[in-house]
Amino acid sequence: MSTKKPPSLLKWSLKYSLSAAVAGIVCCVAPAVLFMFGLMGGVYAISFADFFYNEDGSEGTGSLILKGIAIAIGIYGIYSFRKKQNQCSIDPKRKRKNLLILLITIVVLSVGVFLSLEKWSAWYFDTHIVPAQQLELKK
């Protein structure tokens, strides 16, 4: 019988849902944060973000790749939790319940954080980066 402690649902779900959300939206958050700290100008921040989108503003290949990476992170989190949980001697019904709770938590948290970061980055771009870009282009 194994005496290993079962993995923490809360820590596991936070780690993988936040990782997935940030990976999926890094195209917009990274330039906003770099601009915020003065490490990137407005023109470069917008061109960095534009790399991930088509000219008409629709999702480009880069954006879809990032979202695919985010989904892969979430799936890996669930898979590795299941693998780690199977090393522990707990009731199979409890294992299934834990896995279902983890799945729901990762999906809800990662989508919620992704959408929040997407909304924040759109606001930040419109409020701060686009005006800075306009000033830089006038020079």
Walk along the chain (139 residues) and give the pLDDT tens digit of each residue. Answer: 455 677 788 999 999 999 999 999 998 899 999 999 999 999 999 888 888 888 887 888 999 999 999 999 999 999 999 888 877 767 888 888 989 999 999 999 999 999 999 999 999 999 999 999 999 988 7
What string of DSSP letters covers 29-81?
Answer: HHHHHHHHTTSS-HHHHHHHHHTTB-TTSSB-HHHHHHHHHHHHHHHHHHHHH
pTM metric for this prediction: 0.85
Sequence spans of domains, the chain: 10-134
